């Protein structure tokens, strides 16, 4: 358990405050303990199949749209999924395109791989500048990362529309859609809440990145998945470290994926908490929350975000700010906690925005 787990209310890492059912975890760990002297499976066939089944059932995918086990490549968390994607495509692209403000691991993975990063900033209302993006991908073979819903802004970017636009601009463009928060946006109206996992079979240059850290409450287990067309999935899998999923994580994942009914209930609780948090933030003077389709709420503050974050920490509440991004100097990100955690956060933020420590 992290050292700050009891000292602070942790609302800074977009964790799920509702643990997975203890009986599922205990049953999985009890079975795994007898295998700790052995290396884990290499092909992870059952895990791939279970996650494909979950993806299809949760999104209503069937027929030609259904995800197959052979299209799934397991990874040690979303971060490894991102790095494996960049490393696999390094010989085929000349740049990695990111849409800031967004998840910083995309640019970091590109630098690790020795690829230049091209930034196409979101507009003032945090939408994608399609004209600038299409011009960028026309200039060079590219890998475009789209976080949808986006971290940290919380809004839907319309990955399907972006995929169509960049594919028309340059058919050789690769598009990686990070759907870490997809379960929290599945009920969004129109097409923007739809997963792109059902499109990978017909788009050989499309990659969908998923994680079990958020909706499944398994951030500490470190398990993610890459979904792609079979040929590209084999390429992605070829650079995967042989034993990248440990025995304990594998046992827990297979157990919860065999009984995923708890996920929809957990997501519903988070969505209810998100509503509670957003309404509470909107009621605090000089705090302006943005609409969110994730498990966090992004908000503008009149006070500098660095000061707000520091003062909140002094009150026992951990939230996130972005000191490296000048455009976000007055913005904070607050994860959805339990009702008690949300109330404690709001109370502390009221005091913080009044300016006293």
Q: 268 and 220, same structural domain?
A: no
Q: 172 and 310, same structural domain?
A: no
pLDDT in tens, 216-263: 999 999 999 999 999 999 999 999 999 999 999 999 999 999 999 999
Residue 4 in domain: no
Give the residue from 198, 226, 258 where a domain finishes.
258
Q: 276 and 145, same structural domain?
A: no
Question: In what side-by-side order are the strands of the sheet with 224-228?
Answer: 72-75, 224-228, 206-211, 174-178, 142-147, 95-98, 117-119
pLDDT for 348 equals 98
Q: 287 and 245, same structural domain?
A: no
pTM of the full structure: 0.95
Residue 2 in domain: no
Q: 267 and 246, same structural domain?
A: no
Q: 344 and 281, same structural domain?
A: yes
Residue 119 in domain: yes
Residue 1 in domain: no
pLDDT for 34 equals 67
pLDDT in tens, 143-157: 999 999 999 999 999
Give the residue from 227, 258, 289 where a domain finishes.
258
pLDDT for 335 equals 98
Residue 74 in domain: yes
Q: 162 and 36, same structural domain?
A: yes
The list of the chain residues with pLDDT below 70 reads 1-6, 34, 356-357
Number of domains the chain is built from: 2
pLDDT for 1 equals 43
pLDDT for 33 equals 77
Residue 3 in domain: no
Q: Which long-range contacts (CB under 8 A, 24 or more apart) does 103-110 make?
A: 103/145, 103/147, 103/151, 103/178, 105/78, 105/79, 106/82, 106/145, 106/147, 106/178, 109/79, 109/82, 109/83, 109/85, 110/86
pLDDT for 5 equals 53
The domain of 136 spans 22-258
pLDDT for 73 equals 97
Give the residue from 258, 282, 305 where a domain finishes.
258
Measured CA to CA in angstroms, residue 81 lies from 3, 85, 209, 226 at distances of 27, 6, 7, 6
pLDDT for 357 equals 44
| Domain at 109, CATH number | 3.40.640.10
| Domain at 330, CATH number | 3.90.1150.10
Give me the residue label for tokens 């998945």.
Answer: 225
Q: 279 and 247, same structural domain?
A: no
Pairing, β 331-335 against β 320-321: antiparallel
Q: 254 and 284, same structural domain?
A: no
Residue 230 in domain: yes
């Amino acid at each position: 358990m992290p050292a700050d787990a009891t000292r602070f209310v942790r609302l800074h890492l977009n964790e799920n405050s509702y643990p997975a059912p203890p009986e599922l975890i205990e049953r999985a760990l009890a079975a795994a303990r007898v295998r700790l002297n052995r290396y884990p499976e290499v092909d992870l066939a059952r895990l791939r199949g279970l996650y494909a089944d979950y993806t299809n059932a949760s999104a209503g995918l069937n027929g030609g749209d259904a995800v197959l086990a052979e299209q799934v490549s397991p990874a040690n968390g979303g971060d490894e999924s991102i790095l494996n994607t960049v490393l696999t495509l390094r010989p085929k692209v000349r740049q990695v395109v990111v849409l800031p403000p967004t998840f910083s691991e995309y640019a970091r993975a590109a630098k690790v791989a020795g690829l230049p990063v091209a930034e196409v900033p979101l507009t003032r209302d945090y939408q994608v500048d399609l004209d600038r993006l299409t011009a960028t991908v026309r200039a060079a073979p590219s890998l475009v990362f789209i976080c949808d819903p986006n971290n940290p802004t919380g809004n839907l970017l319309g990955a399907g529309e972006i995929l169509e636009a960049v594919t028309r601009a340059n058919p050789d463009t690769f598009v990686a859609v990070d759907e870490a928060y997809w379960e929290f946006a599945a009920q969004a109206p129109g097409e923007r809440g739809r997963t792109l996992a059902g499109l990978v079979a017909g788009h050989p240059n499309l990659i969908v990145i998923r994680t079990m850290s958020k909706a499944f409450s398994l951030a500490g287990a470190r398990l993610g998945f890459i979904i792609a067309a079979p040929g590209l999935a084999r390429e992605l899998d070829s650079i995967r470290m042989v034993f990248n999923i440990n025995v304990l994580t594998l046992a827990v994942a297979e157990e919860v994926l065999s009984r995923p009914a708890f996920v929809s209930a957990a997501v519903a609780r988070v969505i209810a908490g998100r509503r509670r948090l957003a309404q509470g933030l909107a009621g605090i003077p000089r705090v302006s929350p943005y609409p969110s389709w994730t498990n966090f709420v992004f908000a503008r503050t009149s006070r500098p975000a660095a000061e707000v974050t520091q003062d909140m920490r002094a009150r026992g509440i951990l939230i996130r700010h972005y000191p490296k991004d000048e455009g976000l100097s007055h913005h904070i990100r607050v994860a959805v906690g339990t009702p008690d955690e949300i109330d404690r956060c709001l109370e502390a933020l009221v005091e913080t925005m009044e300016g006293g420590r």
